[in-house]
Amino acid sequence: MLKALLFAALAAQAADLDAPQTLDLRIAVSSAITYSALSVELSRLGEQVTLELVDDGSLPDDVAWDGIYVGRLVGPWSRYAEARVIGRAPSGEEELLFSGLVRTEDRRRVMLGWWVKHLPQGNRAIRTAVAYPDGAAGAVNSAPMLVAFGWGVFLLCYVGWLTQQTSSPGAT
Amino acid sequence: MTVSPARRRVALTALFFSALSAIFSWPLITDPLGLQVSRQFDLFSVLWTQSMARPWPGLATAATAWPLGESLTRADSFVLLTLARSLDWLDPRLAAPICALAGPPLSAWAAERLARRDLGAAWPWSLIAGTTYGFSGLMCTALLEGHVYVMLAPWPPLMASALLRAERGGRLRDGLLAGLYWALSLWTSAYLGIAAAALAVALALPALLKPGARWRALMAAAATAAVAGASYAALFLHSGALERALSTTSRQSSVLRMSAGSARLGGMAGWDPTADMVLHSITPTLGFTALALALFSPLLLPRVPAWRRLAAAGVVAAALSLGPELQLYHSDLEWPWLLSPLQGLPIASFFRHPARLLWVTSLALGVGGALAATQLARRRRLPALALVLFAVGDALLGTGAPLRTARVPITAPSAYQAAPEGWAVLELFPLYEGSVEELELYFNNLTCAYQVHHRRPLLNQCLGTTLRSGPRWEVGSWLIDAALRQPPAARIPQRLTSLGIGAVALHPDLFPGASRDELMAGLSQALGPPAAISVDAGERVLLYTLPVEGAPPAAAVLSAALDTVEGWE
């Protein structure tokens, strides 16, 4: 049984490495900013691809109209890509929000997240590990930390209870 | 056939830690030679270093920093070099995966043994010591940043064990062993050596001050350690000025760098996804199970002097690991802290990762946790058994190791095969500065790892972290500038071949659009069309070859030519 499970896991892993690389792009836009369209230009492996991101629920994992624009690129494995994030205002004017190199080394699946916010020098897209609607990004980023603290409180109570049980005269 | 309880315990312990290790670094075990799981880029230089173990014991290579060559005495880990050298008959590439896969269980076994044999923890609660130390947040950080040789860290707990036995029994053998284990810590990594030294002082000093102290054994430990330390320092000083260069010179940047390598209060508790977006993935989580147990230790362990010393060392190490500024998560509090007096001193450049002192804290917490759980188990066996499972939760979910690993194939672009053998390859990528300067280290290390496959000499410095220096930086900067001129500078091929360069490897997709096209056009004009173009191994490489014949000139001639680069137009 154990051997079968291990072989299945190894086979799945080998198949995984032969599969194309998936780049998931997610851009959170602050509620005070409005764009009629968001696109990402990715230059990788000698080719340039422009992805129009959507927020209408038409892609898997996308919640319609939640302020998170998503896109997905499936292709050969690339260690990095030159990325440009462009926002198109309702007036039709385009704004360059981000330009730079992004590392995409994971052979299997890479999440590229940005958060578009207003800074003194104008609107900018800032790289983030996760992209969530206004205000939620910080909380989601901190989720593992919050869980860790909750876990810590539970353990303090548990060990405290055990200590109390151990030191009480009737404990067996 | 009957199996003794002791043997069964050993087998179960080995199985437990080995299974934990496979999950901790998953999916490394599925393809140890073809896959790496690090998030950052230090593993690339480890892959290069282990492949360079062959010239040992000469401890120098002419294959990088061409034509100057590099000394391997700055390789940080002589244990890695020795391991790779001893595996040469089989495959030296095994050294890094062995460190990553066997390091944590061996380290865990050593900590478990210290808690059980020397301090009286009972099995299976002694497993808490191994799990907390061998699968700590620092172990996860080492895996994700790529310094996998540090994961082979059984030496500090073995040293502590030998020191305690030397103190109790006064046997010379134990003292010598303690010194040897400290030396192995230092030869595994300088930071592990510093952590082990702090541990040794905390354990041995109070023992020496006691009436009737066993001086002989402890002096043997100190003498062995002194010889090992002196040999390490001698090798370090022997490495040459190029490798010893300070990474930073200004006060401001030394503060920033030491602060970046320090622990955060929040990072000791848990991790968040942003940690893997920058540099070393520093998340030195301590493990709440052991921490909670250790916090109750004054009630549970009133009379264990060795544990008190260990706990004191752990607390001091934790305080120092916070570096020059106290921070909560990232750069938020910025309160001056214990190491702030070091700021601006040259030594700060060589001590940029105070967080690595937490090896001592992990060990202290693990051992304390195992001892406290043993006490609890005397009355409440089953609920106390759950603590072992909780410690496993800390190791896997608290550090987040299996959730954070990457899957990066170990491979190299095929274009390099068109480069003339024996002649050097000049790697051409952008000159990164400012907030993205670490990209220079990334591409430098990555192209060093490619050398393991193509075997041509490189101008890259493959050891050390000094930015904007060395032959590749110097010649690469000149070539980019020369090729972008209109028309390109004269005599580019002749000048490059005078340095023993037989090919230029351009990584065009690293350059922004407009300058990329100009650079490719300029290089084609100066060097002719690329001899090979490959789109594999995760990137596009254009290889321009130069008209060379026979072997390159002697090293002295090439070095003299390198001195003239500054004056080239």
pLDDT digit string, tens, across residues B305-355: 888 999 999 999 999 999 888 888 777 777 888 888 887 777 766 788 899
Per-residue confidence at B251, pLDDT binned at 50, 70, 90? very low
CA distances, A138 to each of A24, A112, B152, B181, B487 (Å):
20, 16, 36, 44, 52
DSSP B515-533: HHHHHHHHHHHHH-S-SEE
Same domain for B379 and B446?
no
**What one-character DSSP code corresponds to residue B2?**
-
Name which of B461, B407, B373, B413 is nearest B119 in CA terms: B373
Per-residue buried b or exposed e for B242-266, using 16+ beta carbons within 10 Å of the residue's own CB = bbbeeebeeeeebbbbbbbbbbbeb
Q: How far is A63 from chain B (nearest CA, A)?
A: 22
- Whether B163 is covered by a domain: the verdict is yes
Residues 110-149 of A with CB under 8 A from B: 127-130, 141-145, 147-149
What mean pLDDT comes out for the span B104-113? 98
Q: How far is A91 from chain B (nearest CA, A)?
A: 27
Q: How far is B123 from chain A (nearest CA, A)?
A: 18
Q: In this model, does residue B210 exceed pLDDT 60?
A: yes
Same domain for B543 and B422?
yes
Of A9, A127, A160, the CB nearest to B277: A127
- Whether B6 is covered by a domain: the verdict is no
The domain containing residue B122 runs over which residues?
11-404
Of A130, A159, A162, the CB nearest to B273: A130
Judge contact between B286 and B362, C-beta under 8 A.
yes
Instruction: Decide if A7 touches B, using CB distance below 8 A.
Output: no
Closest chain A residue to B508 measured between Cα atoms? A46
Q: In this model, does residue B480 exceed pLDDT 80?
A: yes
Judge contact between A117 and A140, C-beta under 8 A.
no
Q: How far is B230 from chain A (nearest CA, A)?
A: 41
Name which of A146, A149, A127 is nearest B292 in CA terms: A149
Q: Which stretch of DSSP H or E encloses residue B542?
A: strand B539-545
Q: Which residues of A touch B400 (CB under 8 A)?
A: 144
Same domain for B353 and B462?
no
CB-CB under 8 Å, B272 with A144 = yes
DSSP B21-62: HHHHTTTGGG-TTTEE--SSSHHHHHHHHHHTTTTTTS-EES
Same domain for A127 and A159?
no
Same domain for B397 and B428?
no
Q: Which residues of A touch B439 (CB under 8 A)?
A: 101
d(CA B543, CA B504) in angstroms, rounded, equals: 6
Name which of B539, B462, B465 is nearest B280 in CA terms: B465
Total of domains in chain A: 2
Same domain for A61 and A113?
yes
CB-CB under 8 Å, A152 with B291 = yes
List of long-range contacts for A57-61, beta carbons under 8 Å, 24+ apart? A61/A24
What mean pLDDT comes out for the span B419-430? 95
Judge contact between B33 and B410, C-beta under 8 A.
yes
Per-residue confidence at B246, pLDDT binned at 50, 70, 90? very low
According to the model, what pLDDT value does residue B208 have?
81
Same domain for A42 and A114?
yes
CB-CB under 8 Å, A14 with B277 = no
Q: In this model, does residue B563 exceed pLDDT 60?
A: yes
Which three-class secondary structure state does DSSP give residue B71? strand
To test the contact with chain B by mutation, choose from A155, A161, A172 the residue with the greatest count of B C-beta atoms within 10 A, namely A155
The domain containing residue A172 runs over which residues?
142-172
State the CATH number of the domain containing residue A49: 2.60.40.10
Same domain for A72 and A7?
yes
Q: How far is A116 from chain B (nearest CA, A)?
A: 17
Q: In this model, does residue B55 exceed pLDDT 70?
A: no
CB-CB under 8 Å, B376 with A159 = yes
- Whether B534 is covered by a domain: the verdict is yes
Q: Which residues of A touch B379 (CB under 8 A)?
A: 165-166, 171-172
Same domain for A37 and A76?
yes
Same domain for B359 and B473?
no
Same domain for A149 and A105?
no
Total of domains in chain B: 2
According to the model, what pLDDT value does residue B282 have?
87
The pLDDT tens digits for B127-158 are 999 999 999 999 999 999 999 999 999 999 99
Per-residue confidence at B248, pLDDT binned at 50, 70, 90? very low
- Whether B4 is covered by a domain: the verdict is no
Of B329, B384, B446, the CB nearest to A162: B384
DSSP B379-407: T-HHHHHHHHHHHHHIIIIIS-HHHH---
d(CA A2, CA A46) in angstroms, rounded, equals: 45
Closest chain B residue to A172 measured between Cα atoms? B379
According to the model, what pLDDT value does residue B359 have?
96
What mean pLDDT comes out for the span B189-218? 88
Same domain for B288 and B387?
yes
Find the range with the poorest average confidence among A162-166, B69-73, B113-117, B223-227: B69-73
Same domain for A106 and A149?
no
Domain end point (choices B404, B439, B474):
B404
B86 Cβ contact list (under 8 Å, min separation 6): none
Report ipTM for this prediction.
Answer: 0.87
Same domain for B326 and B424?
no
Of B30, B376, B407, the CB nearest to A162: B376
Strand order in the sheet with B532-536: B424-428, B501-506, B539-545, B532-536
Same domain for B390 and B421?
no
According to the model, what pLDDT value does residue B558 have?
81
Domain end point (choices B355, B373, B404):
B404
Judge contact between B97 and B87, C-beta under 8 A.
no
Same domain for A87 and A10?
yes
And the tokens for A169? 């005269």
In chain B, pLDDT over 90 holds for what percent of residues? 62
Q: In this model, does residue B242 exceed pLDDT 80?
A: no
Same domain for B321 and B203?
yes
CB-CB under 8 Å, A129 with B409 = no
- Whether B3 is covered by a domain: the verdict is no
Same domain for A38 and A62?
yes
Q: How far is A86 from chain B (nearest CA, A)?
A: 15
CB-CB under 8 Å, A166 with B375 = yes
Same domain for A44 and A73?
yes
CB-CB under 8 Å, A108 with B538 = no
Q: Which residues of A touch B384 (CB under 8 A)?
A: 162
- Whether B1 is covered by a domain: the verdict is no
- Whether B359 is covered by a domain: the verdict is yes
CA distances, B202 to each of A96, B121, B136, B222, B317 (Å):
57, 21, 21, 13, 11
CA distances, B345 to each of A142, B195, B352 (Å):
35, 21, 12
CA distances, A74 to each of A49, A77, B471 (Å):
11, 9, 39
- Whether B70 is covered by a domain: the verdict is yes
Q: Which residue has the tokens 């360069």?
A: B501
Find the range with the poorest average confidence among A99-103, B115-119, B239-243: B239-243
Cβ-Cβ contacts under 8 Å between A and B: the total is 137
The pLDDT tens digits for A31-81 are 888 888 999 999 999 999 999 999 888 887 788 888 889 999 999 999 999
Q: In this model, does residue B244 exceed pLDDT 50?
A: no
Helices B381-393 & B288-295, crossing angle to 10 degrees? 130
d(CA B273, CA B271) in angstroms, rounded, equals: 7
Same domain for B183 and B319?
yes
Mean pLDDT score across all residues of chain B: 89
And the tokens for B312? 């004191």
CB-CB under 8 Å, A82 with B512 = yes
Which three-class secondary structure state does DSSP give residue B372? helix
Count other Cβ atoms within 10 Å, centred on residue B412: 21
Closest chain A residue to B442 measured between Cα atoms? A103
Which three-class secondary structure state does DSSP give residue A111? strand
The pLDDT tens digits for A107-147 are 988 999 999 988 888 899 988 887 777 667 667 767 777 88
B144 versus B562: the higher-pLDDT residue is B144
Per-residue confidence at B201, pLDDT binned at 50, 70, 90? very high
Which three-class secondary structure state does DSSP give residue B353? coil
Q: Look at phi and psi of residue B455 and say left if phi exceeds 0, alpha if psi is from -120 to 50, else beta.
A: left
Q: Which residues of B touch A46 (CB under 8 A)?
A: 508-509, 535, 540
Of B270, B296, B508, the CB nearest to A160: B296
Same domain for A97 and A171?
no
To test the contact with chain A by mutation, choose from B30, B283, B516, B535 the residue with the greatest count of A C-beta atoms within 10 A, namely B30
Burial of B285 (0-12, 13-18, 19+ CB in 10 A): buried
Per-residue confidence at A6, pLDDT binned at 50, 70, 90? low
Q: Whole-model pTM?
A: 0.92
Find the range with the poorest average confidence among A34-48, B317-331, B371-385, B390-404: B317-331
What mean pLDDT comes out for the span B68-73? 86
Domain end point (choices B379, B404, B429):
B404
Q: In this model, does residue B72 exceed pLDDT 60?
A: yes
Find the range with the poorest average confidence among A157-171, B118-132, B157-171, B473-487: A157-171
CB-CB under 8 Å, A106 with B407 = yes
CA distances, B176 to each of B144, B167, B193, B223 (Å):
34, 12, 16, 8
Same domain for B352 and B400?
yes
User: In this structure, are strands A21-29 and A109-119 parallel, antiparallel, or unpaired?
Assistant: parallel
Same domain for A149 and A66?
no
d(CA B343, CA B359) in angstroms, rounded, equals: 23
Q: In this model, does residue A167 exceed pLDDT 90?
A: no
